A and B are shown apart, each in its own frame.
Chain A
Amino acid sequence: MASEAKSFDIAGAVKDAAFAGLVALGVFGPLVGFNTVPNMQNRLVLETRWGLLAIIVGLVVVGRFLLSVWQAARAGHVATVRAPLSPAIRKALPPGALVALIVYPAMILALTGGSGALKWIDNFGIQILIYVMLAWGLNIVVGLAGLLDLGYVAFYAVGAYSYALLATQVIPATFPQLGVWAFWICLPVAGLLAALWGVILGFPVLRLRGDYLAIVTLAFGEIIRLVLINWKEFSNGYEGISSIPRPTFFGIPFNASSSGFSATFGLEFSPVYRTVFLYYVILAMALLTAWVSLRLRKLPVGRAWEALREDEIACRSLGINTVNTKLTAFAVGAMFGGFAGSFFAARQGFISPESFTFMESAVILAIVVLGGMGSLLGTAFAAVAMIGGTELLRELEWMKLIFGPTFDPTQYRMLLFGLAMVAIMIWKPRGFVGTRTPSVFLKESRAISSSHVKEGHG
């Protein structure tokens, strides 16, 4: 871009836009302009859709022109590195968000009056918080230690199946009287089992780096899923495990019985109590994840993770056992994945291998990358945008007003989602939070620009 071009070149921009329109016409002309439909005799006839074509080409022309205007406007400014939010807002954001999260169920109940509340607390609240927790767990591996893990869902699955199998088979067979406490007993066990599997996976693969590590972790995720599908005696294959005990209010089940939660507290029975309780459970679990990872970051092990992301050879030259350091990152990340999986199984009451596909790993990784720089706040926002966004995209009925009644908006959900991701990665290539906060400081803590921070290489 010519730096001295201060006046905006309108003729050039128009020419550019016209050319873009021409290309769009060439591309979309045959694809959109013509449509084959079967007529009454069930023969294919050619139909033309010049109107739709005109709209698309028009959008491209206008879009290209606006892009030129925007680029010209931006070229006038000196590019400056600045934090996305002012320090005051930055400081007030975490406590503010926390308060909002705590009052969220009450707010929803008040707004919807109970009937529609389940959807908002469950689909938006709990669903998003599960992903926030998963992303914060994966953030330890990818964001801090810089190890690209494409198979994180494996640990989620280990956690979910650990809880499901322990609660449906082991506990009834050994200590049936502990049934109501199943969730609270199995939660830590599931986390530890997932951490164990993190170490088991970590040992052979951590000598690999970068792309190779990513491929092996991807394979590990698939292996776990395929084992769950095929080892029918163990996991009941595709049918999955059903009637998994739901979490209890510290021993008091959420049911309509006389010893249930509603009866004990003298309330009218409603399924909403369980959902609200689950919401607070996952909120507490997510906050625990955040607290632990914030804490670890300021400890030598966390600093070693970040140093590992920056330069592994330098770490070894300083006497850091890089294998152990990577293994702890894997294990801690996997443990939180296991906790989340265990919660997922308890919330659903039913799990099958279908829930643990590569797509889940990809979404969690996308949240971490979108959040940026190992930042917890950025990751939380990314989870809200990604999971809340895809949920909101289910509500696209209004698009029928524009594109006609035959238009099925749900089919375009993933397309719009992909477009949004591309746009965000162009706009903010290092994620929502483009700076790194130092773990320790002598006089004042200054944010570190993304240009210095490395992504890690395995």
Chain B
Amino acid sequence: MSDAILTVEHLTMRFGGLLAVNDLSFEARRGEITAVIGPNGAGKTTVFNCITGFYKPTQGRISLATEGEPIYLERLPDFRIAAEAKVARTFQNIRLFSGMTVLENLLVAQHNRLMKASNWTLGGILGLPGYRRAERAAIDRARYWLDRIGLLDRADDPAGDLSYGPQRLLEIARTMCTEPVVLCLDEPAAGLNPRESQDLATLLRFIRNEHGTSLLLIEHDMSVVMDVSDHVVVLDYGTKISDGAPQEVKADPKVIAAYLGVPDDEVDVVEAEIGL
């Protein structure tokens, strides 16, 4: 078993009177795919938004293990989480730059590196060789990922012209161009057909195995979750109800109750059983 890369401790998120996430603690381990699942409204996306800085948690600590001191993500603004802590994310509703080409999308993702190479625009505007070299390297990296997701032929098409499945893959490739340590995917398989889900699973395993990126994903598609994850965390009403290997979680009566519900006359029995 490997060590934890991302540790969430006592995370609580309140929106006015609504308790979206309640005292949640879990770990995502280095080089593993961790899935966060749960019924609709369980607070999965809220957890994601807290990790990636789009929400400031009401309470709790999110720490990212690094070689030196751990980075506490709840203290950083969202763009610095992506730029400095290298925790990148995708979105449930795809957020591509639809009016820009596929290639441009991947270059925007390498903004910080290119910005540095262009001496914060000054060297770039004068056409210094350092920037040109960096841009070529950036295009090569984009080419590598396009080849990987099978979109090399469409590099010069607007991203908005792609169909849904390729858009999902492009969004993942775009985040990978930021070279993240932890990649958070918000429902990557939503709206994909079974074949596209297969391709996605292959891509996710490739990212884990070849790039050593740890993945954290929210998913509804159980076949994908059971297929790719090394570790599953189940949320319901903002609380963790189960945590473990996919097979253990699948058999957990609390999980079954949360997903399928129980007959009315058995509610008391089941609640007593699972200690609610």
Contacts and interface: CB of A to CB of B under 8 A. Distances in A.
B95 A314 contact: yes
Given A296-B125, A321-B79, A442 B88 contact: no
Interface in B52-68: 52, 54
Interface in A436-458: 436, 438-446, 448-449, 451-454
Given A311-B95, A318-B108, A452 B158 contact: yes
B158 A303 contact: no
Given A292-B125, A316-B78, A436-B99, A307 B156 contact: no
Interface size bucket, B side?
A: 35 or more
User: Among the interface residues A301, A318, A441, A452, which one has the most CB atoms of the partner chain B within 10 A?
Assistant: A318
Interface in B108-134: 108-112, 114-115, 118, 120-121, 124-125, 131
A319 B120 CA distance: 15
A441 B156 contact: yes
B211 to A, nearest CB: 17
A311 B107 contact: no
Contacts of A322: 79
B96 interface: yes
A310 B97 contact: yes
Nearest to A444: B156
Contacts of B198: none
Given A303-B111, A304-B108, A446-B157, A318 B175 contact: yes
B214 interface: no
Interface string A295-313: 1100111011011011101
Given A296-B125, A445-B156, A438 B100 contact: yes
Contact of A442 (B80, B91, B155): B155
B190 interface: no
A321 B80 CA distance: 8
A287 interface: no
Contacts of B96: 311, 314
Contact of B121 (A299, A315, A454): A299
Nearest to A451: B160
Contacts of A320: 79, 83, 108, 111-112
User: Among the interface residues B54, B98, B159, which one has the most CB atoms of the partner chain A within 10 A?
Assistant: B98
A436 B112 CA distance: 24
A232 to B, nearest CB: 40
Contacts of B103: 438, 440-442
B98 to A, nearest CB: 5
A307 B112 CA distance: 14
Contact of A317 (B78, B114, B118, B156): B78
A319 B95 contact: no
Contacts of A442: 103, 139, 143, 152, 155-156
Given A316-B79, A317-B82, A319-B80, A454 B98 contact: yes
Interface string B145-173: 00000001001111111000000000000
Shortest 3 CB-CB distances between A and B: which pairs?
A319-B83, A453-B99, A319-B82
Interface of B: 52, 54, 78-84, 88-91, 95-101, 103-104, 107-112, 114-115, 118, 120-121, 124-125, 131, 135, 139, 143, 152, 155-161, 174-175, 178
Given A322-B79, A452-B99, 10 more contacts: A295-B125, A296-B125, A300-B114, A301-B115, A307-B108, A317-B82, A317-B91, A318-B88, A319-B178, A442-B156
19 contacts: A292-B125, A300-B118, A304-B111, A304-B115, A306-B97, A310-B97, A310-B100, A313-B54, A314-B95, A317-B79, A317-B90, A318-B82, A318-B88, A319-B79, A436-B99, A441-B103, A442-B155, A452-B99, A452-B160
